[in-house]
Structures are given as C-alpha cells and as structure tokens.
Structure 1
Amino acid sequence: MSAVYDNWERLVAAVLRKEQLWKLFYDQSRSPSVLSEASKLVLISDFTSAFGVTDLRLASAELLGKGTFGSSYLVAMHNGVKIVVKRLKSVNISEQDFKHHMNIVGNVRHENVAPLRAYYSSKDEQLMLYDYYSEGSVYALLRGQTSRNRAHVDWEARLKIAIGAARGIAEIHKQNGGKLVHGNIKSSNIFLNSQQYGCVSDLGLANMIETTFMLPAQCYAPEVKGTRNASQASDVYGFGIVLLELLPRKSTAHLPGDSKPVNVVKLVGSVKSKERGGKVFDANLCNYLRVREDMVKMLQIGIKCVAKSIKNRPKMSEVVNMLEDIYANPTFDLEDILRASSVVLSKGTFGTCYKASLENGKTIVLKRLKDVIVTFKDFQQHMEVIGRMRHENVADVRAYFRAEKVLVYDYYQDSISSLLHGKPGAAWKRLDWESRLRIAVGAARGLAHIHRQNLGKLVHGNIKSKNIFVDGEKQGIVSEAALATLTSTIKLPVRANCGYCAPEVTNTRELSQASDVYSFGIVLLELVSGKRSLGTTHGRSKVISLVDWVQSFSYNKWITKVVDLELRKYQIEEEAMVQLLQLAIDCVAIVPERRPRMPEIVKMLEKISGIEPSHESSFEDGLYDTWMESRLEDLLEDLLPKLTS
C-alpha cells in the first residue's frame, strides 16, 4: 500500500511540475505555490503500479474537455499507462467536508461505476484521479467520434450500455444510507468498460460545487433547471435522456449541417406504439422484428423516466429490472433458428453443440442436451436459476426450448483449449503471460459467481478448457454452467479419462463445488504449462495426467521443466509463475477439504496478476487471509517432521 501511495504522489508531483500542465491547470494570475509540499495526495483504493520514476518524469498531458464541474486531463506515461486527472471548479464546502465526501464517493465499489482512485486537496486546489477508459464515452460513440462507427453499434451493444449504466446508478443510490445522488447523469459521463457495458463517471460532484444548470441543457430535469436541487429522481430523468439518445436516428446535439439540436423528449414524447416508433428509431436497427419490439420497450422505459412529475418516475432499481427483462429476451425465435444454416461444433459430455448463422447476421450456439433425467417442471425451474445468473464472465443462456431441450448461447470463436492447443496456422494464436492471467482471473470470477447462486449450492460440473471461452478483451467466459444436474451422471466415471475429473467424483459420481475447483486447477496448469490435461510419456506407451506430470518435478525445477516455452521469451517474474503453479497444485489436492474455495482463488489470482479486484471479491478479503493462514499451517505441518528428523 505504501508503495502504491508513493507512486501516486510522485505521479501528481511529476505531472504538475511540467510546464505544459501549468498552462492548462492555472490561469496566468495564479501561482504554482498553492500546491505546497505539506498537501498530500489521498489514496482511496488500491492502484497497481505499472510505471517507475522515469515514466513519471516523462509523463505528458492533454485537455480532454471542460464540463459542468471542472476540466479533465489525460495524463500519459512514457510506457503507455494512462489516467484521468479532473480539476474541479471552485468547491463551495470546507476542506474537511470535501475530504469526508471524497471518502463516501471512494467507497462506492461497483463494476459499473468509475472508481475514484485518489484525490488531492489543498486550500485552493482540488483534483480527482480516475481510470482512463480507452473506449470513450457514449456521447462520443453515438456521434462517431470514436474508432467505432455509430452505424455498427448494434442493438445488443446499446442494451449493454443502458444496463451497465443503470446498474451503476442504482448502486450509487444505495450508498450513504440511500441518500447519495450523482447529479450529472448524461451520455458524456457514461463510458464503456472492457466488457462494453456502460460505466458511470463523475460521481457526487453536484453536492460540492456551486452550479446553476442552464435551461437549454436537456439532460437535467425540469425541477433542477435554474436551481441546484439535484436528487435521485433527477438522476432518473437524466438517465431517461440517455435511453432516448440510444434510440433515435438523429443526434441530440449540434452536428455539422444541422440547423439546431434535436429535443429528444419532444421527439418521442407522444410515441407509444410500434408504428409511430419507427419514425424516430435508428434505421440501422429496424431491420429485424424482435429488435424493433425491444426498442419500443426501451422507448417506453425512457418516457417513464422523463416524466415531468417526480412521483411518476420509476426508481433506478426498477429501471434495471425492466432493462434486464429486455436483454433476457432473445432477438430471434424458433422459426429463425429452424431457417438458420448450422454446423456441428462439438459433441461433449452433456450433448451436441451447433453453430447457427441467423438471417440477421448474428451467430449463435445451440446446445442440444442428451440424457436429460429431470421432469419438465424441474427443467424449467433450473433454467430460471441459470437465467438469473448474469455475470460478465459467465456465458448467458439467451433462450431455451423446453420440448427440444435446446439451449441458446452467444457464439465465441476462441476457447482456452483452441488458443493453447489449436493447430498452428493463421487462426491459431499463442497467448502471452498477461493474457493468460487475465483469462484465469475472468474465468475464476465467473465460476465464483456460479458457486454463489442457489444459496451458495450451485455446481458447474464440467469445467474444462473447452468450456472456458475468450472474448476480444482476453476475458475468460465460463460456459455450460450447471448442466450436470440435468443429465444422467452414469457416465461421469468415464470423464476421468479426460483429465479434469476429481478423484472423489470417479468413486462416488457426486459433483461438488470442490470438484469444480479441482477441474479449474487443471485449467490453471494448462495455462502455465501450455500442455493438455492428458499426455503421453516419451515412449508414447503410457497416458499420463497433467497433474502427475507436474508433480513429477521438484519445486525448484518448475520454471525450467513445467512453464510453457512460449512464456520464457517474455520478461516475467518467476515468482508470479511459481505462485500460479502453487495455486493450481492446491486446487488439485486429493482431499477436497484441502482445496481453496473459488472466492479465495479469485483473490489470489488478482494479487498475482495485479488486476484490480472486482466489487464482489473486494468484500471477500478476509477469505483470502483465512486461506493464506491455512496454507501456512499446512506447510508447517509438512516441514516439522523434516526439521525434527
């Protein structure tokens, strides 16, 4: 923590010393001496240092924009690390109250809220430091100001933006006893995170800065314009404007050639039917019936949010539920699937997977289950449990057909297995160390989320590298969650031959969360070694499991014998590799009770990789400490006989 704190302090000191930043941060009449040596940068949450003193001295900065509450600057290190520094306008509260408010804002930990990393406060200067989102804001995206063409922002992408931002605002509204207000919800304050969900930034500034909201600003509720009485209801209004911006074929701001901005509230205020909705919807999204129907639903949600009467606006938690209901509905039906061209992808433990290309250009995966042993009612109830299990690292079941026992998933081109063990060629990609760690963290988070479902009793039952997919951001996505309980377990002992099956499952046929951990340990070994779960000896006369192969080498030979040759060309700390290997060995312990739980594994992987803890794992720090204590006890237990012999 002290090293992290020190690096942040050096960063601010370095960038504020630069002549170009003095020109940006200060008027000619102001003196740089206001940043006294006594003033300290306060660290709110952990930040993994990815730069050194030399990088800090070479940092450059550029003005990103001037907003309602201040100006934002992009600060770039020589090695590519970027952060955002926000310089606030005149703060109208005491320095003590400012620090108190910063602590409230800093405690909001959610994947859809941009985290406040640190703040700087002195008598005359207040700065806030945030992560930099390379994907840009929703405002820029919808106006073609990013690398992505607005016409290519499909309906699913817009839904994810809306759902993510709604989740973030709902989380904000829960904080500080349910009294926290954002106060400045607009598309320029919503960014895209690495999973392409909306992420809310600039939290809580409305309570600190004297600002009169101008009448032409469409994102502010009627009761707020001309005053500064922001509320959670006015946040809902602002979010309603964002929803309406995601729908129309026209922009809501001045563009070259436009005579005036479009007032989205007036544009859609009277539109409450599918027929009239077609007049305002983006034409690029209207070529598919199901999409048009979902757009009408979002339109109606937006209209509710921008109601003039505060009491008629929904709560943000209600908005989240309504949007998630839209996302849960597939943009296709059985007839679309029957018309689709399909090919067999694989035949696995629980059924056959088909890749289907729909007429609208979307590619999906159909999983036809075999040996289903549960009743029709139990099948439906289990699907409802799986359907509620929404997480960025768990592949969603987009639809299911009860009679045919067919499940529908999104299509992912690559799995861990194909990336590590695929045939060399144009489509085959080797994974670097950073990518392998990111995949491992994502997959672990997804499996931990699965284990939290159904009162903490849900089991995946079939973890293997072929069932963990990799998206464009190198995030691990766990697929085929919890299908084992639907199908016959009579063939489970045969699965031992695949190398992923825990010893107790072979004997008892009983799956558990501990057996999931064992299988995940095999996946970790694959990621480190680059080898398959099963291999052959040099003479190819005997099949050997990856676990037995790794354990055939002593601890001090892991780096030279076990680690993938592809990884040795990278400059990687050997300690991190050994830590990952040790974690994998702990996961494949013969005794189930000796294996760590998934939340503990997530925490350990985050520490090894330096990846920022998720909001879920940040609440489970104690579990990691408990696991470390138990590991030390186990090591002492093993060492004591040797020391006394």
Structure 2
Amino acid sequence: MSAIYDNWERLVAAVLRKQQLWELFHDHSRSPSILSEASDFSSSFNSSSPLHDLALDFSRLGRILRSRKTTPRLALFSDFSSAFEVEDVFLASADLLGRGTFGSTYTVAMENGVKIVVKRLKSMNITEQELRSQMEIVGNVRHENVAALRAYYSSEDERLMLYDYYIDGSVHALLHGQTGQKKSPVDWETRRRIAIGAAKGISAIHTQNGGKLVHGNIKASNIFLNPQQYGCVSDLGLSTMVETIFMGTAGCYAPEVKNARDVSQASDVYSFGVLLLELLTRKSPAGPKAVDLVKLVTSVKSKERAAKVFDAELLTYPQIRDQAVKMLQIGITCVSKSVKKRPKMSEVVKMLAGIGVMNPESTMIPQNLVPLYKELVFIEDANPKFELEDLLRASAEVLGKGTFGTCYKAKLENGNTVLVKRLKDVIVTFEDFQQHMKVIGKMRHQNVAKLMAYYFSGDEKLLVYDYYDKPSISDLLHKKTGTNRTFLDWETRLKIAVSAARGVAHIHRQDGEKLVHGNIKSSNVFFDGQNYSIVSDAGLAKLMGPIRRSAVRDPHYYPPEVTDTSEVSQASDVYSFGVLLLELVSGRTSSQTHGGDVISLVNWIHSVVRQEWTPEVIDMELRRQVLQVGVDCVAFVSGRRPRMPQVVRMLEEISGIEPSDESGLEDRWEQPSMESRLEDLLEDLLPSLTP
C-alpha cells in the first residue's frame, strides 16, 4: 500500500501549484483548450514525504517555476465543473484501481467525499501537438454512454487524464468480483443494459472525427456502470498514443491486431463481441484464469453443449433463454474472423434493441414489460380508460410494420378496440419522451389521429390511439381486388387531399410551430367516410435513432436533403405530402419501373412532358391544378416549396371546398416563375445524368 501512496505523491507533485489549480477548477468558462498551467515538480520532492507536506513551500515552487524556460500545461474542458476546493486536493487519498494496457488508473478521494479518476499513461510516442489534437477530439465526445474526459495534463515526464468517478464500478468487477470476494448475482436485465449502453457508446465514438475515431481497447474493465446501470465506455482513443508492441489482453482483440497501431473500428466490433460473450458466460478472457471465449462458443455443436456455455445463473430463468440465445448470436457475428463480415456498431445497437422485445409477427401484446411506471399514462380527455393489464390480455392482430414500429389492432375484453403502436429504437430519455407525448397529446383536430395513452419502460414504448376501422389511402389506391384497384372518384380524391393537408398543417402549428410529422406517406393516412383523411404517426421521427434513407421502407417519400430520419423538417413534410398528392392524381405508387429501372414517382412525373399529363398520368376525372400543386411541393430546393397552410389554401380554392378557420391565417402562395421551375427540374435530373 505504501508503494501506491508513494506513486500518488509523485503524481500530485507533478501537477500541483496552488493558485493555478484554483484557476483550473473555478475559471472553467473559457476556451475548451488550455485554462491554466501547472509545473511538474516530481524531481523536486522526496517521494517518501507525507502527501500533505506538498503544500508547505509555495515560494520554493515559484523559484523552480521561474527557472524553467517553458511551463507544462494542464487543460480543462469547458463543461467541467468541479465539486471541490484546491485545499481538498492536498488532503486527498488515492487507491490504485488497476494497471492496464495503456497505463495505471487511480481513484482520488477528497475529504469532502468527492472522487475523481486519474489515468496515468505509459510512455508515448507522439509530439505535444499530436497529443493536444487527440485530446481535443476525445475531450469533445459527449454521450451518456461514454465516460467524459474532464481534463488532461502533459509534461516531459507525465501524461495524466482526469475522468468522472463511477460509484458502481466496472463491468469486470461486477461479473468477476474483487480478489478474495464472493461474486454477487447479476440479473439478466442488468446484463442487457450493460450490452446496450456499451454498444451505443461505441457506436457514438465511431461517428466522431469524421466517422474515423477508434476506441482500441474495449474490455470489461473499461466499461463502467452509470446510475441507470447501463454500460458506459471509458479509456477512449488511447491506442494510437501509447508505445505498445504487444496487446496485453489478447483475448479481447481481433486476430488481425498484433499491436496498438492495428486497431480499427472493425476490431472494436470484435472486442465488443467478446464483451457480449463475457456477459453471457461470466468467464473472463483475461487474467490468470483466462478463457478463450471465442473458441469456447464457436466450438459448440449441440444444444446440450450450448446450455453449458451460458452462466448457470441465467438458465434459472426460462423466460429469458431465447433472449440470451439472441445475444449469443449477435456476439458470434461480431467475432467473425473476417473483418468484412462483422457488422457496424450502429447495426449492433439495432440488433440488441430487439432483445427483450417480442416478435413483430406475434399476435400478442408483450407480457414481460419492465415498466418505469406500472400503468398506462392517459391523455387527460381520453375515454374510455383501461388498465395496462387489460391491454396485455387483449387479443391482438398485426396490422403492419413501418419505419418506426409495428401496429396492432387490440380488442379489449370489454369489447372496445384500440390501435397500439409499438415503437422501436427509441433513443430519448423518459423525461424527453414524456414531454413529447404532452405535445402530441394536446393535438385535437378532426384530421389527426388522436393519442389516447402511452407506456414507457426500459424494454417497451407503446402508443395507444383511437382505432379507425377504415383502410389507408395506400390500400384504397394500390390494393388489388381481383385485377383492378379500388376506384376513387375525383371528388373523393380531392377531399382526401384537402383534409390530409389540413391535418399536416395543424401538426406544423404545434410546439411553437416546430413540430414535424417526419413520416408522411399514403399508408399513414387513413380514409374516414366523414372527415375523409386521418393523419397518423405524427411526430415520431425525433424519438428514434437515425435511420438511413436507404433503410426505410418507403425512401421515395423523402426529399433529396434527407439522408437519414434525423434530418426531417417541415419542408421535408411538404415534399412527402407532394408525393402523396401525386399518388392521388396518378393512381401510382411512390416508386415506378421505368426502362427497367426503379425510379421515384417524382422523377417519373418529371420525365413525362407536360403535354402528356392526360390519360397516361392523370386519371380521367382529375385536374391539372392539383398535379401542379404536387409538383410545387416536391421542388428539389426546400426553400421553393410552399408551407402546408399555403397548400391547404390552394387545394381549397381548386376544389371549391369551404375554407377552414385556420386557412385564412396564411399568406397566399406565389407560385415559382417558369425559370425557377426549369432550374428546379434540371437540379432534380442532374443526379441521374451524372455517370
């Protein structure tokens, strides 16, 4: 123990000077780079002296400092706010947490109880400028599942990094215990949260520095438990800075990694796969009793032997066996020998999100919900109200699967029927989810689906709506009955267009005119004999993790500027509504086959000269004016699209339908000049002309 404290004295001696540390921990409102300075006095102190004696002679420190030509610097990142005074540092006690591939880690405890973690790095083979650049990249990574770098120190002799302290410790300590201590039980939900949290953290890391940042040292001892018991990734980005020839914890590294410079995002995926196997087996790939986990699980040839792979504690819960098998399959995919066969971490996040969630094809509402609240949260005027148990006992029918989740028709025992939307890949906190539900729940409009209630748990997010026993516009237009599609006369189509436009315009007026629908398409607009259109799924896009345009079910509803669902806007809603108008006018789907290629309906419409906008493109009863409104909505440049209230007004004037009370609130739309239309058409066609 004395050796530990002797080492710590040297570390403190390397960074302390009273006035400068005072500035360091209090003047944090300046640049995220260099906020204060400290000198390395390690050579000026006797390492055997008591820790508190380091504070006794500041005049001597000043003389040493003045004798130096340059002063080493200690950098603090701008969002760090310390919870201790500088005097506390002189009285700090320190414990060695462990020695790893890239250095030693200490826990520093102040007299007031505040703790921080200090990472002392091994010898480094980079310049001061390279270090500073790397620290700026690492220090600006901010994610709830990534341990934030708070400050760093660099001199000729020492390289230190300061992090938050996680009271619940590391995943390695949780799974394998401390030396000489009996291991504590670890339930399935905790293991699942660790996996999901760590995956999200690594995925976030991989998006940094232009999508090139690598962790390089993923293992259980570098994953900590945050207060919600999700995995939190530490020791980010050190592999490229440390002179390490052989990687210490070989069982955690991909076969192609021979030294620290070989690490990549693909090798991070491999290491994460080993972590998953460690969570499932509770066997360690490191230490004196190290087990080659990849060899262990890939050698399994039968179900009987497969059972022996899992931690025996997991097998006592039959209801989670299928979930454990799914996680094992994901882990095996991650540890593929072939770099090309390993998934991206963003894909791993999605795969893990499906664990603990029922099969989308199932005809039952999930029974194993783990709630934050044990009941449905109802919107104030919702009627009739019912209990969560009533919903779980309901008979359910899958209506369809969409970009953001699966829809069920649920018939309650009392005879009432509701529509349940089961969301996937929700990334926001409960507080943000609850606030968003309040915004959506306040919407009361005859052309917008009414939210009745919602449910939020770690595993499940459900929305409950009134049930509309009517088909979607997509079904009306495109579903075949025999050999012919359902016939919709001109008057009905026009009323559908006007009422859907009114619904979308009302959505855009909510939340200070900032609310976005984000997923307008004919399958999300339902036909109602009285009000004609009911717009559903409003405002869900912002709750979800980004989904690439190429991965959504109906990509042709999105405008060119939207590359993933996080980029949707009210202008992109207008574009999507324009595609819906073109569907109503032409009777065709959002994508078309043209010359053997699949193209969007928008490009197909543009490819047909205006003189041919009769019977081939437009159903006989339909009018050119509506098609022109649709073309205006799908303008290539977002700034040339009308606003939804202006679309409502134009359609009302074309149809002769009596304007709504909201229609008079918007200025008239001035249609673009012919020159602007031609320019927009050329911009739309250029991508297809580029080789």
Q: Give the counterpart of 1:152 among 174, 185, 203.
A: 185
Question: Judging changes above 3 Å, is the alpha-carbon distance between structure 1 residues 402 and 346 closer, same or farther for their aligned structure 2 residues?
Answer: closer
Give me the whole-angstrom Cα distance separating, in 1, the residues matched to 2:145 and 2:23: 27
1:452: Cα distance to partner? 10
**8 Å Cα contact 2:74/2:151 also seen in 1:** yes
* SS at 2:116 equivalent: strand
* SS at 2:261 equivalent: coil
After superposition, residues 110-121 of structure 1 pair within 5 angstroms as 110-121=143-154
Amino acid at match of 1:199: C
1:328: Cα distance to partner? 2.8
1:13: Cα distance to partner? 8.2
Q: Give the counterpart of 1:313 among 342, 359, 362.
A: 342
In the alignment, does 2:169 pair up with 1:136? yes
Q: Give the counterpart of 2:410 among 373, 397, 402.
A: 402
Give me the whole-angstrom Cα distance separating, in 2, the residues matched to 1:64 and 1:515: 52
Report 1 or 2 for greater relative contact order, CA contacts < 8 Å, sequence distance ≥ 6: 1
After superposition, residues 578-617 of structure 1 pair within 5 angstroms as none
In the alignment, does 2:331 pair up with 1:302? yes
What is the match of residue 60 of structure 1?
93
1:231: Cα distance to partner? 1.1
In the alignment, does 2:105 pair up with 1:72? yes
Q: Give the counterpart of 2:271 among 224, 238, 241.
A: 238
Structure 1: gaps spanning 5 or more residues: 25-31, 339-343, 355-364, 388-398, 410-440, 472-476, 489-507, 518-597, 600-645
Q: Give the counterpart of 1:292 among 321, 338, 352.
A: 321
Cα-to-partner distance string for 1:612-640 (whole Å, 9 max, x where unaligned): xxxxxxxxxxxxxxxxxxxxxxxxxxxxx
* SS at 1:92 equivalent: coil
In the alignment, does 2:175 pair up with 1:167? no
After superposition, residues 216-615 of structure 1 pair within 5 angstroms as 217-225=250-258, 228-248=261-281, 250-254=283-287, 260-271=289-300, 274-329=303-358, 350=382, 366=389, 368=391, 385=404, 402-404=410-412, 444-447=431-434, 483=464, 512-513=510-511
**8 Å Cα contact 1:366/1:408 also seen in 2:** no
What is the match of residue 107 of structure 1?
140
| TM value normalised by structure 2 | 0.50
Q: How well do the aligned residues superpose, as a CA RMSD in angstroms?
A: 5.3
Higher helix residue share: 1
Question: Judging changes above 3 Å, is the alpha-carbon distance between structure 1 residues 93 and 406 closer, same or farther for their aligned structure 2 residues?
Answer: same
Give me the whole-angstrom Cα distance separating, in 2, the residues matched to 1:41 and 1:459: 56
Amino acid at match of 2:410: R
What is the match of residue 50 of structure 1?
83
Question: Judging changes above 3 Å, is the alpha-carbon distance between structure 1 residues 40 and 313 closer, same or farther for their aligned structure 2 residues?
Answer: same
1:237: Cα distance to partner? 1.1
Give me the whole-angstrom Cα distance separating, in 1, the residues matched to 2:449 and 2:41: 50
Cα-to-partner distance string for 1:444-494 (whole Å, 9 max, x where unaligned): 44445668999x99999789xxx999x9xxxxx999875467799xxxxxx
What is the match of residue 611 of structure 1?
none
Structure 2: gaps spanning 5 or more residues: 1-21, 29-34, 52-60, 369-373, 413-417, 423-427, 470-505, 516-541, 544-691
In the alignment, does 2:226 pair up with 1:203? no
Give me the whole-angstrom Cα distance separating, in 2, the residues matched to 1:85 and 1:78: 17
**8 Å Cα contact 1:368/1:406 also seen in 2:** no
* SS at 2:281 equivalent: coil
Between Structure 1 and Structure 2, how many residues are aligned?
418
**8 Å Cα contact 2:440/2:451 also seen in 1:** no
1:143: Cα distance to partner? 0.6
What is the match of residue 5 of structure 2?
none
Give me the whole-angstrom Cα distance separating, in 2, the residues matched to 1:185 and 1:212: 17
Question: Judging changes above 3 Å, is the alpha-carbon distance between structure 1 residues 337 and 21 closer, same or farther for their aligned structure 2 residues?
Answer: farther
* SS at 1:163 equivalent: helix
Identity across the alignment (%): 50
Give me the whole-angstrom Cα distance separating, in 1, the residues matched to 2:121 and 2:301: 41
Cα-to-partner distance string for 1:214-241 (whole Å, 9 max, x where unaligned): 4762001111135631111111111111
**8 Å Cα contact 1:460/1:482 also seen in 2:** no
**8 Å Cα contact 2:196/2:353 also seen in 1:** yes
Give me the whole-angstrom Cα distance separating, in 1, the residues matched to 2:367 and 2:430: 29
1:281: Cα distance to partner? 0.7
Amino acid at match of 1:144: G
1:132: Cα distance to partner? 0.8
1:94: Cα distance to partner? 0.4
In the alignment, does 2:222 pair up with 1:193? no
Q: Give the counterpart of 2:126 among 68, 93, 106.
A: 93
1:123: Cα distance to partner? 2.9
1:346: Cα distance to partner? 8.9
* SS at 1:225 equivalent: coil
Question: Judging changes above 3 Å, is the alpha-carbon distance between structure 1 residues 336 and 159 closer, same or farther for their aligned structure 2 residues?
Answer: closer
* SS at 1:238 equivalent: helix
Question: Judging changes above 3 Å, is the alpha-carbon distance between structure 1 residues 290 and 15 closer, same or farther for their aligned structure 2 residues?
Answer: farther
Give me the whole-angstrom Cα distance separating, in 2, the residues matched to 1:459 and 1:130: 47
1:515: Cα distance to partner? 12
Give me the whole-angstrom Cα distance separating, in 2, the residues matched to 1:407 and 1:150: 42
